[in-house]
Amino acid sequence: MTIPADSVWFITGCSTGFGRELAKLVLDRGWRVVATARGKDRVADIVELAPDRALAVDLDVADQAQIDAAVKAATERFGRIDVLVNNAGYGYQTSVEEGEDKEIRDQFEANVFGLFAMTRAVLPVMRAQKSGNIVNITSVGGLTGFASSGYYSATKHAVEGFSESLRAEVQPLGISVTCVEPGPFRTDWAGRSLHQTQSKIADYAETAQARMETTSGYSGQQPGDPVRAGEAMIEAVSRERPPRQLVLGKFAYETATALYRKRLEAIEADRELSLSADYPALAEA
């Protein structure tokens, strides 16, 4: 899609990180933005950058009433929504065995079910316009898995699968869907936005627990620049045909390309075994 000069970007999770930097970049380009956070006072400074083109809205994506109210406020103020950026969410690290049920369910509420609900709420607006772009911030962890991130990766894999089906349904309607898959970026993900359940089982000391300790000490040293990430997202969305996915950062790029190569090789290596599962008459056709 070509971004209209007066386009409206609805961005969830704007208090910090990718959402905050992206909202500022959108305003800098002369577009309009609905900046949301769990407490709109946390994005008041963004609105001050361009009060005539920015709207701050309270939004907890796990609260359907707040989702509905936020979309209504956006359309009443600006009349349309051109780009939905599903950015709100957080991380949770633990060994799979020691995962706490409440932590797991709360993360799925925010990272998965909240994103689903937010998308459903905006789709009627985009269908009426016959245009729009939905950008889902997943992670390189949505393509692969790392020790201690089983549940976090599960949420991001869920969003990847959802996005594939969504794209098939809405692309004929003029709506694009892009998954953004960042590697480590210098946001507060590893600080304020990361929950952990420390491993107490010795068998996981060198895997899950070791990675949790590394992650905690890594905050502020990640190679990725959130501002440059925002610029890359804008460039991708502004294309006539926005990409199905956008990996961000060297780590994510190298991880993703190596992963796909290895998976394709593994699938092809078992070609005969795979094809043998069909009924013989069909396999010979």
**Catalytic residue IDs:** 152
Cα–Cα distances in angstroms (integers) from residue 29 to residues 3, 26, 44, in the given order: 11, 5, 19
Cα–Cα distances in angstroms (integers) from residue 254 to residues 117, 222, 248, 257, in the given order: 32, 16, 10, 5
SS (H, E, C) the chain: CCCCCCCEEEECCCCCHHHHHHHHHHHHCCCEEEEEECCHHHHHHHHHHCCCCEEEEECCCCCHHHHHHHHHHHHHHHCCCCEEEECCCCEEEECCCCCCHHHHHHHHHHHHHHHHHHHHHHHHHHHHHCCEEEEEECCHHHCCCCCCEHHHHHHHHHHHHHHHHHHHHHHHHCEEEEEEEECCECCCCCCCCEEECCCCCHHHCCCHHHHHHHHHHHCCCCCECHHHHHHHHHHHHHCCCCCCEEEECHHHHHHHHHHHHHHHHHHHHCHHHHHCCCCHHHHHC
Q: Contact at 8 Å (CB) between 28 and 230?
A: no
CA 7 to chain centre: 21
CA 149 to chain centre: 16
